[in-house]
Amino acid sequence: MANTLIKKLAVFLWSGLLFSAAFSQNESQPAHVLVLEDIEIIGNKKTNDHVILRHLSVQPGDTLGPGVLVVNKNRLDATKFFKSTDVYTKPGSEKGLVVLVVEIEERKWPAYYFKGGHGDLDGWYLIPVGFNFSNLFGHGQYLDFQMKWGNRQDGISVSYTQPDFLETASQLDISVFLNSVEFTHYWDFNDTAQTVQNVGLAFKLSNPFDIYKSLSLTGRQVGVQPVSNQVLKPYFGDDFNRAILTAIGFTFDTDTRDNPLFPASGFWGAFNAEIVYKHFSANYAFPKLTYDGRWFYRISERNVFAFHLESGYTTSQAPFYERFYLGGSYSLRGYSFARLTPLGWGSSLLAAQTELRFPLGSAEFPQYKHIIVLYYDVGGIWSPGELPGVMDFHHGLGVGYRIKLPIVNIARLDLTVPFSRIENDFFNYIKLQVALGHSF
């Protein structure tokens, strides 16, 4: 044990001296260049070498720059394949050449996790039971099992991820799920909740064509059973029958954000086009288009302007559980969930959100613990056959507070003044909403 510690300490000191000598510069002597001669992997009894190599940012023949050891250790840690990792260098066969040593300790058991989150339709949710089998069979696959419990969705899912599908840069994701989703309907001065049960299979074949963009082929087959609701049944007819949906589509997405959780600059966007088609076992046929774009601009050293644009379109053939809603903490703030949605939910949607984010303190940049937000939301939603008009849009103006917490990450408090007056709604002049995560 003592010899191992002494050996690692000696290698660490040698690496530090070597890199400091190689990258220090003065007026009389130019910096030396270190070239990677080879990569040596230690400790991988199960994991194939190529699984580790594909996550490294360097390969033999590359010139090594400052910070390369830390960068590649972080890349390996991010895979969650290994219990521990160590990345260091040792002298090569001649002066100016080095060998990169990757030393790993593999996981023997699946990793248990407990986490919380939020989704557009899901609302907030917790995953009290989750298991991740990472690096399955030593080829870098993932197998994930989770039980989800939330305010609008409960369920169980099993998902499988195959990187480098068929020895290409593509990634295949397959999921099997069983869940129930709660939909809220408003009509006249009444509202009621409607539960829809789903069981299905979905796949996504992603093909990145540069570091920021990817094009994916998607598909799903879902068995749907709306729970009987005698109050709503006269309004929806066939939508309350048991149904099977079969869909094929594609998704184009891009992500240039500097930080996925606390972005200060960049863009994230996704466009999805899907065709639900009818065959011997499927009941519905309709198209569905959605777009979600999010822009982030740093307006000072710490303050950020954020803009969100969301739209959707489908036809009258789509059942209510495949349509769109408006209103709520993750939609148009100042209104209850789906409060602005027409009965039967909408077939066309256009909404936008703007935010000015002001972090308090700078000790934890960029993941600030406290953030003050000023925001303005606007949106409209239409039933099949309705033509959009300027007067159809609803508005909300407000101020919010975000705090970073363990497990759930971000909790937020929003106080909104809604411009539209909803009949028989007590919260017509100001509304306080509590939620998890950023609004976008």
Length of the chain (residues) = 440
Spell out the SS3 assignment of the chain. CHHHHHHHHHHHHHHHHHHHHHHCCCCCCCCCCCEEEEEEEECCCCCCHHHHHCCCCCCCCCECCCCHHHHHHHHHHHHCCEEEEEEEEEECCCCCEEEEEEEEEECCCCEEEEEEEEECCCEEEEEEEEEEEEEECCCCEEEEEEEEEECCEEEEEEEEEECCHHHCCCEEEEEEEEEEEEEEEEECCEEEEEEEEEEEEEEEEEEECCCCEEEEEEEEEEEEEECCCCCCHHHHHHHHCCEEEEEEEEEEEEECCCCCCCCCCEEEEEEEEEEECCCCCCCCCEEEEEEEEEEEEECCCCCEEEEEEEEEEECCCCCHHHCECCCCCCCCCCCCCCCCCCCCCECEEEEEEEEEEEEECCCCCCCCCEEEEEEEEEEEEECCCCCCCHHHCEEEEEEEEEEEECCCEEEEEEEEEECCCCCCCCCCCCEEEEEECCCC
Q: Are residues 29 and 171 in the same domain?
A: no
Domain final residue pick, 73, 106, 139: 106
Q: Are residues 88 and 129 in the same domain?
A: no
What is the side-by-side strand order in the sheet with 97-106?
35-42, 97-106, 82-91
Q: Are residues 173 and 88 in the same domain?
A: no
User: Judging by DSSP bridges, how do beta strands 97-106 and 35-42 pair with one another?
Assistant: parallel
Q: Are residues 153 and 295 in the same domain?
A: yes
Which structural domain, as residue segments, surrounds residue 72?
Answer: 2-106
* Distances, alpha carbon 250 to alpha carbons 247, 256, 309, 418, in Å: 10, 20, 20, 36
Q: Are residues 183 and 142 in the same domain?
A: yes
pLDDT confidence of residue 428: 67
Q: Are residues 381 and 256 in the same domain?
A: yes
414 alpha-carbon distance from chain centroid: 22
Q: Is 213 exposed, middle or buried (0-12, 13-18, 19+ CB in 10 A)?
A: middle
Domains: count for the chain: 2
Beta-ladder partners of 305: 297, 356
Beta-ladder partners of 207: 215
Q: Residues in the chain with pLDDT < 50?
A: 1-3, 5-30
pLDDT confidence of residue 215: 94
- Specify the CATH number for the domain of residue 58: 3.10.20.310
In angstroms, rounded to a whole number, what is the distance separating the alpha carbons of residues 122 and 116?
Answer: 12
Q: Are residues 216 and 85 in the same domain?
A: no
C-beta of residue 32 within 8 angstroms of C-beta of residue 96? yes
pLDDT confidence of residue 363: 63
- Specify the CATH number for the domain of residue 280: 2.40.160.50
In angstroms, rounded to a whole number, what is the distance separating the alpha carbons of residues 175 and 155?
Answer: 13
Q: Are residues 256 and 343 in the same domain?
A: yes
Q: Are residues 54 and 24 in the same domain?
A: yes
Domain final residue pick, 82, 106, 130: 106
User: Which of 129, 115, 189, 119 minimizes the C-alpha distance to 152?
Assistant: 119
Q: Are residues 238 and 382 in the same domain?
A: yes
Q: Are residues 23 and 129 in the same domain?
A: no
pLDDT confidence of residue 200: 96
C-beta of residue 148 within 8 angstroms of C-beta of residue 171? no
Domain final residue pick, 48, 80, 106: 106
pLDDT confidence of residue 157: 97
- Entry pTM: 0.78
Q: Are residues 128 and 52 in the same domain?
A: no
In angstroms, rounded to a whole number, what is the distance separating the alpha carbons of residues 320 and 337?
Answer: 15
C-beta of residue 82 within 8 angstroms of C-beta of residue 72? no
In angstroms, rounded to a whole number, what is the distance separating the alpha carbons of residues 353 and 308?
Answer: 5
